[in-house]
Structures are given as C-alpha cells and as structure tokens.
Structure 1
Amino acid sequence: MSASYDYDDADGHRQMQLSQQDIAYDPNFVPEYVKSFVVHLYRHIREKNVYEIHQMYETSFHALSDRSFKDTPWPSVDAVAHYVDNDHVFCLLYRELWFRHLFARLSPTLKQRIDSWDNYCSLFDVLLHGVVNMQLPNQWLWDMVDEFVYQFQSFCQYRAKMKNKTEQEIVLLRQYDQAWNVYGVLNYLQAFVEKSAIIQILDREKEGLEQFTANDGYDYDGGSNVLKVLGYFSMVGLLRVHCLLGDYQTGLKCLQPIDISQKGVYLIVIGSHIATIYHYGFACLMLRRYVDTIREFNKILLYIYMTKQFHQKSSQYEQILKKNEQMYALLAICISLCPQVNLLDETVNSQLCEKYGEKMVRMQKFEEEAFSIYDELFSYACPKFITPSAPCFEEPLVNYNQVHCNHVNLPLL
C-alpha cells in the first residue's frame, strides 16, 4: 500500500492526504512523503532541534508506518542516503529505525537479525569513539537501548529453537557465531556507562555540581546529550540483561547508581520507568526481598492507574498494559509469601483483590494446588529467560529454551 503526504516545510510535521493504491514493495522506491520525512528529520538533527526531532520520531514515523508500511519494510537506507548527503551517522540512525520497524511489524530472517547486530555495532562504535555533536530525544535514546536488549533476547530465543532450522540457517549461525554474543552485548552497555562517566555525573549531581536530572539529561550549553543519556539508560539495560541471565545480584548492582527513591531521568520516559521498576522488583523478588518488591510495585502500579489514559495514543500503550498485568501477578506472589497489605495503596489493593483475590487465598494455604498457582502466575509474569550460549549444532532437534526455563525456579519461603 502507498499513501501520499504533504509536509509543511516550516516544521516537517505530517499533513495527510491519502490516496492509496496497491503496489509491489520495492526497497529502492522512495515515495515523496518518505523523502520529505528523512530530509526534515536530517535537518532537525543537524540543527539540534530536539522538539521537532521528537515530534517526527514519536508522531510522524509511527503514522507513516501505520498507513504505508504496516506489513512492508521502509525504503532501504541506500535508497534514501543521497537525500541526506550520504551522512554516515544519520544513515546508521535511519537503519536502526528500519530494523526496529521490521522487528515490530514483520518476521525478520536470520540474515536480517545478523545485519541488525552489525548496524548496532557500527552505530555504537561511532557514538563511543567518534565526536558526537547531536541532541536526540530521551525517548529515542531509551528505545535504542531497549530495542538492543530486546533483539538480543529475541536472537537467543530464535537460535535455541533448533527443531525447524534449515541447513542454510545452521551454516549462518556457525559462520556468524559472534552476532549477539552475550559478552558483546554486555560490553557495549558497560562501555556506554564508563565512556559517558554517568556514575561520576550522578555523584556530582548529589553534591550540587551537576544538573543532569534537573535538565532531563539534555545539554543546554550547545553540547550533546547522546552519550550521557545512553550511559544512563544502559544501566537499566544491564539490569534487564542480568535478569534474563538469572544473575539478579549483579543486575541490582548495575542499577545502584540510579536512586529510584529520588527523581531521575528514567522517570521521564514511561517505557523506561516501567522497565526499571519491573526488573528491579523482579530481581528483589528472586532474592527474597519481598518488601522492596511490594513497595516499588505499589508505587508504579498506582502511577499507571492514575496516568494510563494519557498514554492511550502512545505506541507503547499495549506494552504498558501488559507490564501492568505482569506486575500485579508478581505482586500477588509477593503478598502471598510475605503478607504486607499495609504497604499497598487502597486503589492498588482493590485492583489486586479483584484480579487475584481468590487465588491469593488458595496460595497462602501452601497446599499442593497452591504451588500450581504460584507456577502459573510466575510463568506468566517473569521475564522470558534466555540461553546465552550457542546450542549444540550436532543435536538440532533439542529446544534449548525449554531446557533452560525448566531450571528457573520461583524462590519460595
């Protein structure tokens, strides 16, 4: 499907005039509205116009995707490169969006998963070792880290399902054995933390010598926010990866520089806020720190209850609702193991009782039926754990995801 859009040259915002027609997808065909989109986005990035970048990233990109690229990829980076002066960094950013759209709307091939890894490596190497002179919205920078970890998780789960792999896929997996390597993923996230000096920045902020949080992570002196904010969000990314690996102590240690009891940049982006508290609470649950889990889940669930109507048009709305339900399931487990209803707000307690009141009564009896309920709620609400190492290619019929998950147990008292 194609659609034509007119853009206001003053700000690049989308003004739709639809005329749809069926056409075969051609990765090298660039409709006028895509040309206008990339030209305006490129100009705003060069001008460090964060407001306009945010509008185009959050509104125009998703609107165009919904209307014209619902089940096809965007035009290839090679097709749009000459419209943006073949700018290397912009092309890497565009390709990151291209792959993210592909993963969200379509089923990526193994080669595309590998190509996405290569693009992240190229982009991150530039951001870590080059001279970065950009200001990007916090939402985009969070999505970049979030998607990086998601694609790592997705690749590990894909690789572990060996039953239906073709010979060609196995050859590619052997050939590109470093793609989405767990050490490579951890090293990039840790490199952002170290290179950005974000831990030292947060320490200086406590002494009144920095204004990182007060400025929402942006640099109002004409510099770049990219490395600092990526370093900040990478601490959340490290927590998430370690939760996927079952190393909860290390995950919480990675998050330690962010004081979640105080205002932080992670609160600005709803997806970051929820991911931080979800993984923090889950790690505490697995370490039997039930009170910490109850206290933080109570705050975030009340916040979602009070604000979710403001996020209904957000592309993240479905994910917000899913995490909301998962946290209620984990909260039911915590309250059943460690009855601390006094820590819950009345609204949260009412929602919890409505969703899981009957099951919680049965769970607290610790009879045989109770354990099956614990298992049901835990399986629904826990992160989708991964096997980080490559499978044994000589035994292609084994589903390694199932083997790994069978060894992840809920810590009961």
Structure 2
Amino acid sequence: MSFYYEEYEEDFNNPSDPYVKDNLDSRPDGGYGQHMIPDLVQDFLLLLKKAIIERNVYDIQNLYENTFIKLSESYYSDSPWPEKEEVEHLMPEDNNIFIILYKELYYRHIYAKCQPTQDQRFDSYFNYCHLFNYILSSEKPVLLELPNQWLWDIIDEFIYQFQSFSIYKGKSQNRSAEDEELLAASPQVWNVHSVINVLHSLVDKSNINEQLKEYNSGRDPDQVAGEFGRQPLYKMLGYFSLIGLLRLHSLLGDYYQAIKVLENIDLNRQQLQMMATAPVLACQTTTFYYVGFAYIMMRRYSDAIRTFTNILVYLQRTRQMYHQYRTFQMDLIEKQTDQMYKLLSICLALHPQRIDETVLSHMNEKMSDSMLKLQRGDLKEFENVFKLSCPKFLSPVVGHYDNPLSNQPSGPKIDPWKHQMKVFLDEVKQQHPLMEIRSYLKLYTTMPIEKLANFVDLPEDEFKRNLLCFKHKMQNLVWTKGQSGLDGEFHSGSDVDFYIEKDMIHIADTKVARRYGDWFLRQIHKFDELYRIISNINV
C-alpha cells in the first residue's frame, strides 16, 4: 500500500518544482562538490552504508550514536551536512534506503542546529513518506535492521517535526506570498491525519498490541506476532509508535485517548517490558512524562504522583550508568526530568501525600521557594510552573487559507496553549480556598463550624459549600489493579478527614505514622549485602 504523498510524488521528483531545493547550478565544480566533504565524513558515510547493507546492528549503533555526533560537532556544528546529491555522487551505486536514512539524519540535524526553511520542512516530510512506504508497502518484511535508539529517534523526530510545522504554519509573520501560496496549495503536508495514519499503520503491521497481550498473560508473543511482528524492526517501530500516539494525543489535548492507546502496556512497572533487552531511556522518560501530564489534566493526581515518582526514582538510581554514555538525547531527558519535578510539585500542592524521601529531598533542593508559593496557593506561581513544564500544545486545525496572499488564515484562531492553561487554572482556582481550609483543619480535632468560618472570613453557608467541595476534590479515581492505566477506584487522598455533627467539625489526621524500624532494617540488610560482595571481591 502507498499513502501520505501520492498526489505530491511526481512534484517531489521534479527538480524544477518549488518543493525541491536545487542549488547544483551554484556550485563552481558543476554540481556536486564532493571534494568539499572531509575525508573522515566520507569514510563515515561509506562505513554506514556498508553496515546498513550488511545489517550489522553493532556497527550501525556505534556509527550512529558516537561517530555521527562527533563529526557533527567537528564539521557541522552550525551548518547542514552534505546534501543528497553530493552523497549520491560519492557513492553512485544505487542504494535507495541508505539515501533515505541519510536524509533523515540530514534534516534532523538541520532542525537541531539550523533554522529549517519551508522547502526543507516539505522535503523532510516527503522523505519520511518514502521511509514509511518502504517499510509498510512491502509484501515481505524488508531486509533492514537498525538499533533501537535510531528507531525511537525516527518516531520521536517525526512527531517533533510535525509539531514544529504546525507551530510554523500557525504563525504567518515574515512569510512571503509564495510561501503562503504553497502552504495553501498543500494541505496534506504534515497533516495530523497523515501523522496519525503512519503511527497506527506501524502498530497494525507489527501486531504489537496482540504481542503485548500475550506477554502480559505469560505466553509467547511470537505466537501472534505474524511474519512482520517477529522482526525487531517492525516490533520496535510498533511499540515506539504507541508511545508516539500517547505524545500526539496529549499535544492535541485528548488525554483519555492518550492513555487509552497504552492499555496493553503495564504502566505500573518501573521499566517498560518491551525495553528489557535494549532500554531506550528517552522513550521511558517520554512515556512517563506524558502519562503523568495526562493524569494531571484528568484530575487524577494520585496516579500522576505515582507515575512521576516511579520514573524519577528510576532515573536517580541509573543516573551514573547512563551519564557515562552521554548522547544527544541526554539534554532532552534532563529537560523532561526537570519538567516532571515541576509537575510533581503542582500535584503535591493540590493533592498532598507522602512520596519517596529521595525524590522529595531532590525536589526541595531544586525548587524549594516555588514549592512554598504553590502550597500557599499563589496563582501566578501555578501559572509560571505550568508554563515551564507543559508540552507545546497543538490544534488539529490551524486555519483555512482561503486567501493565500492575505498573510492571515481566515476563521477563528485558537491558541491551544492558552486554552489548556485556562482549563488548568480553572481547576486551581476552585481549589484555592480549600488550601487555607486544609491548613486550619490540620490544627484542630474539634471545632465549631461558625468559628472556622470566621477564621477564613467566609459566611457560614458558603463555608459549608467549601467543605463539601473539599470532600469532592479529595476524591480521586486511583489505579489499584488492572492492565489499563484508565482503570481505577475512587479513593480519598486527603491527609485530613472530617465529619460534621451538630454544627461541630470533627477532624482526624489520616497520615500513617512512619515506620522507622522497617527503614533501618532495610538499610542494615542492604549494607550486609554490600559487605558480602566486597568481601568476595577481596578474596
């Protein structure tokens, strides 16, 4: 099957078309300028092509994760890699998939280090179309093997470039009339339906959901994987596409569907099961970040706190191991980690509960002042923290270009970020008076309603409504068991509880006292085990 770009394919292969950059005439050597490619870069390209043809995953991984990054820093820190024509002239033998994969690296580098032009945005889209059609249109599994990190980066970059194009399309400033006309004439380029179609096609082709169901039942996933799903290329692309759909639905504001697509993944395991043999840390952090954020927007704060705490504990324990193999993804991982700490502080301000001591200690070091403001109900601080920690939301409909020369899409222009911010702040404003009430409830065991109403400077009737609101807001849908992250039961997550009898409030502290003895016993056993290992090494 062929999809996504059929109506543009003829134009894409036509050098005179505005979709395609053609700078060959400007080169003094008649076109290709291969002598401008440094020898080390030529050697890298030849070795990468050889490794891809031979399906040598070990060499591909080393070239991709180490050599490519070093060469980029040395020769192309602020400029693009050699263009496709130069690489084709260097290696005239026909190898279509190598050129497609090289262009994927080429455009990704432009997005990371340069400012992509509109033509480059279009070209990158068409290159992804070629790549996915090559993988999905074949009647038999294609003879291609890539390391898991590269496969994840393909899906991650595909969604990122769609996100970047959507933001670019929504901003009409500083665009020429020709660019506006081209945008108006090509509504299918980086269309949200095309992106979703790609991800679902990869999921279906790999039978990944059926494999996950078998895995969760303790059976062999290969029994239902099919001819394509047994191949690592298709299996991992299918798995990463599920995470991509989680991210995409979150960006579009459909949080229920975001978690729904992961219903066959056990989110309550600290390590995702398909990653056991070859973990991709960027995939893990992305998964927990977007799941936790979706829980926040669904007002499931207990689940969000559990999600963030699980991955932050894991990151702390594996920090030393991953940082010695620092890749370009580590900057993104560290950014998402900081965002998760900020989101966790929001959750704890709105829904206080006990969390892991190491995570709490690290969070206090990073943002103690901000946490105090959040706990006091500072609306401006909630807005600032949310702004720094939320993803860049997208609207599925950017606008209609009825008049391409007007430089402005017609129809209403909705800022998705402002919309999501309003939804979040509306919830915070509803809880704002409850924070003060909670602080007073923690000071007493019995108190007249009238007296407490005077403390918070509210009429007694309105104060009773706030008490009812407090009960309601502390009732959360909390995951207890089940495969889907949407499963759950209603539980009260408040650290104080109360009931009213004859105009008196009876208050009880629901905090469970710390069991220090258990903690010390665990530490003793841990040091005993460490001493035993060291003793054996010395022997």
TM-score, reference length from structure 2: 0.66
Structure 2 partner of 1:34? 41
| Number of matched pairs | 379
Structure 1 partner of 2:307? 296
Equivalent-residue separation in structure 1 for 2:92 and 2:303 (angstroms): 49
| Amino acid of the structure 2 residue aligned with 1:228 | K
Q: Give the alignment partner of residue 146 of structure 1, picking from 149, 153, 156.
A: 156
Bigger shift: residues 147-156 or 397-406: 397-406
| Amino acid of the structure 1 residue aligned with 2:300 | R
| Amino acid of the structure 2 residue aligned with 1:243 | S
Q: Give the alignment partner of residue 363 of structure 2, picking from 324, 328, 352.
A: 352
Equivalent-residue separation in structure 2 for 1:87 and 1:401 (angstroms): 45
Deviations 1:352-399 (A, max 9, x none): 222333333332343xxx111111110110001112323244563589
Equivalent-residue separation in structure 2 for 1:334 and 1:70 (angstroms): 40
Equivalent-residue separation in structure 2 for 1:148 and 1:229 (angstroms): 15
Contact 2:204–2:238 (Cα < 8 Å) also in 1: yes
Deviations 1:260-301 (A, max 9, x none): 223423461011011000001000111011111111111211
| Amino acid of the structure 2 residue aligned with 1:330 | L
| Amino acid of the structure 2 residue aligned with 1:349 | L
1:156 paired to 2:156:
no
Matches within 5 A, 1:54-73: 54-73=61-80
Distance 1:266 1:378, change over 3 A: farther
Matches within 5 A, 1:241-320: 241-262=248-269, 263-266=272-275, 268-309=279-320, 310-311=322-323, 313-320=326-333
Structure 2 partner of 1:190? 200
Equivalent-residue separation in structure 2 for 1:91 and 1:204 (angstroms): 37
Q: Give the alignment partner of residue 118 of structure 2, picking from 99, 110, 115.
A: 110
Bigger shift: residues 40-49 or 64-73: 40-49
Equivalent-residue separation in structure 2 for 1:155 and 1:287 (angstroms): 28
Give the gaps of 5 or more residues in structure 1. Answer: 1-23
Equivalent-residue separation in structure 2 for 1:78 and 1:208 (angstroms): 50
Contact 1:386–1:404 (Cα < 8 Å) also in 2: yes
SS in 2 for 1:301: helix
Distance 1:151 1:28, change over 3 A: farther
Give the gaps of 5 or more residues in structure 2. Answer: 1-27, 432-539
| Amino acid of the structure 2 residue aligned with 1:92 | I
Equivalent-residue separation in structure 2 for 1:300 and 1:253 (angstroms): 20
| Structure 1 residue 51, shift from structure 2 partner | 1.2
Q: Give the alignment partner of residue 404 of structure 1, picking from 416, 420, 424.
A: 416
> Which structure's relative contact order is higher, taking Cα pairs within 8 Å and 6+ residues apart?
1
From the CA coordinates, give the structure whose radius of gyration is larger.
2
Matches within 5 A, 1:198-237: 198-210=208-220, 224-237=231-244
| Amino acid of the structure 1 residue aligned with 2:419 | H
SS in 2 for 1:407: helix
Identity, in percent, stands at: 39
Distance 1:292 1:245, change over 3 A: same
Equivalent-residue separation in structure 1 for 2:296 and 2:360 (angstroms): 18
Matches within 5 A, 1:45-84: 45-81=52-88, 83=91
Equivalent-residue separation in structure 2 for 1:63 and 1:358 (angstroms): 39
Deviations 1:20-50 (A, max 9, x none): xxxx999642333222212211222222221
Distance 1:156 1:97, change over 3 A: same
Equivalent-residue separation in structure 1 for 2:398 and 2:131 (angstroms): 25
| Amino acid of the structure 1 residue aligned with 2:39 | E
CA root-mean-square deviation: 2.6
SS in 1 for 2:415: helix
Structure 2 partner of 1:388? 396
Deviations 1:64-119 (A, max 9, x none): 11101112211122222352722111111111111111111100001100110111
| Amino acid of the structure 2 residue aligned with 1:74 | W
| Amino acid of the structure 2 residue aligned with 1:33 | L
Contact 2:156–2:244 (Cα < 8 Å) also in 1: yes
SS in 1 for 2:283: helix
Distance 1:292 1:280, change over 3 A: same
Structure 2 partner of 1:322? 335
What stretches of structure 1 move > 4 A for 4+ residues in a row? Answer: 24-28, 397-402
| Amino acid of the structure 2 residue aligned with 1:292 | D
Distance 1:299 1:28, change over 3 A: farther
Equivalent-residue separation in structure 1 for 2:241 and 2:122 (angstroms): 21
Distance 1:84 1:243, change over 3 A: farther
Equivalent-residue separation in structure 2 for 1:357 and 1:402 (angstroms): 35
1:121 paired to 2:134:
no
TM-score, reference length from structure 1: 0.85
Q: Give the alignment partner of residue 134 of structure 1, picking from 144, 153, 178.
A: 144
Contact 2:399–2:413 (Cα < 8 Å) also in 1: no
Equivalent-residue separation in structure 2 for 1:200 and 1:95 (angstroms): 33
| Amino acid of the structure 1 residue aligned with 2:346 | I
Bigger shift: residues 37-46 or 94-103: 37-46
Bigger shift: residues 50-59 or 29-38: 29-38
Equivalent-residue separation in structure 2 for 1:279 and 1:403 (angstroms): 20
Distance 1:401 1:117, change over 3 A: farther
